[in-house]
Amino acid sequence: MLLIIFFNRLPAEVPSHYNILGEPDCYANHWFVFFIPHSVSLFGVSYVIWNKNHNSCTFQNPINGSHQKNSI
């Protein structure tokens, strides 16, 4: 919500990457600030869906061909 309120106050270019010294070494358009929250949200939703469908793994034993459950 704050991002929407203060969006007009952002500079035309914002830092998008920092080097090891903490200095910005890459800049992006100010619209880039919307990318980060959406990408984090998409990652979180994808993680929940993946774990819901793949909560345990089964591996085939190469010696006798049987399946064993491996809970991670």
pLDDT at 19: 93
Ranges of each domain in the chain: 2-70
pLDDT at 56: 57
Q: Is the dihedral of CA 21, 27, 30, 35 positive or negative?
A: negative
Name the β-bridge partners of 18. 24
- The tens digit of pLDDT for each residue in 13-72 reads 888 889 999 999 999 888 888 887 788 888 888 888 877 766 555 556 666 655 555 544
pLDDT at 70: 53
CA distance 35 to 38: 5
Contact assessment for residue 58 and residue 70, using Cβ atoms and an 8 Å cutoff: yes
pLDDT at 64: 63
Contact assessment for residue 40 and residue 30, using Cβ atoms and an 8 Å cutoff: no
